[in-house]
């Protein structure tokens, strides 16, 4: 998620209320400070990225090992590009569209990683989920949930609560149908995807199709 510049605001985007502009300005400032970047400009992409480091050992089911200090890619939801949730709540049609965007976002991430030689040592992609529906969709794309052994400090708990408020405000600004008032104390799960699995699912099929060989 991280390395490129932030995208420019589309010229034809509807004007937002002043409070929403303030929330997005704050979010942009935080992105720059945390070096969150957009690895593609495709409108179907629903993730931004950030380079981080592991704080504990991670072992994935395909045999990928991660050790403290190893670089990983952290994925962040790109709120402005998430398909609008109906006021009545997520529907089956919305779920299918979101799943397509999820897959397209991983396609673009795989292409980005293969085009950046300085990221050759990144073997793990990580994300935090706070919604069961999102976790289920991620599992379909072979993300694995792993318990974080690091206990949060009181300050980290306060910081996480503040993040939850910001996420809620961003959701409200982008998509009022997706905002719920009971999400300030929502729990989070760390999910992981190995780069090996990412490339097997999103790079290898493209190479086979280009070569004309059957899959």
Q: Is the pLDDT at 208 greater than 60, yes or no?
A: no
Q: How many CB atoms are closer than 10 A to CB 192?
A: 23
Query: For position 196, which CATH number holds?
Result: 3.40.630
Q: Is residue 110 part of a domain?
A: yes
* Cα–Cα distance measured from residue 162 to residue 13, given in angstroms and rounded to the nearest whole number: 28
Query: Read out DSSP for 146-171?
Result: ----SPPPHHHHHHHHHHHHHHHHHH
Q: Is residue 12 part of a domain?
A: no
Q: Average model confidence (pLDDT) for the chain?
A: 78
Tens digit of pLDDT for each residue in 156-175? 666 666 666 666 666 666 66
CB-CB contact of 123 with 70 (8 Å): yes
Between 73 and 85, residue with greater pLDDT: 73
Provide the whole-model pTM.
0.72
Tens digit of pLDDT for each residue in 180-195? 555 545 556 889 999 9
Q: Is residue 54 part of a domain?
A: yes
Total tally of structural domains belonging to the chain = 1
CB-CB contact of 109 with 123 (8 Å): no
pLDDT value at position 134? 78
Q: Is residue 13 part of a domain?
A: no
Tens digit of pLDDT for each residue in 93-116? 888 999 999 999 999 999 999 999
Q: Is residue 126 part of a domain?
A: yes
Q: Give the domain range for residue 81.
A: 38-155+187-207
């Amino acid at each position: 998620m991280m390395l490129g510049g932030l995208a420019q605001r589309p010229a034809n985007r509807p004007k937002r209320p002043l409070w929403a502009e303030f929330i997005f300005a704050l979010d942009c400032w935080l992105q720059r400070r945390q070096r969150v970047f957009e690895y593609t400009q495709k409108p179907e992409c629903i993730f931004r990225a950030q380079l981080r480091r592991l704080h504990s050992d991670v072992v994935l089911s395909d045999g990928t090992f991660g050790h403290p200090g190893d670089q990983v890619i952290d994925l962040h939801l790109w709120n402005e590009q998430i398909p609008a949730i109906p006021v009545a709540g997520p529907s089956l049609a919305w779920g299918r569209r979101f799943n397509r965007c999820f897959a397209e976002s991983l396609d673009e991430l795989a292409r980005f990683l293969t085009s950046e030689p300085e990221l050759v040592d990144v073997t793990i992609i990580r994300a935090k989920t706070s919604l069961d529906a999102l976790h289920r969709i991620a599992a379909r794309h072979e993300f694995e949930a792993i318990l974080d052994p690091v206990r949060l400090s009181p300050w980290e708990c306060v910081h996480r609560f503040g993040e939850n408020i910001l996420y809620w405000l961003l959701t409200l600004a982008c998509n009022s149908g997706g905002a719920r008032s009971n999400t300030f104390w929502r729990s989070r799960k760390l999910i992981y995807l190995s780069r090996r699995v990412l490339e097997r699912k999103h790079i290898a099929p493209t190479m086979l199709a280009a070569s004309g060989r059957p899959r």
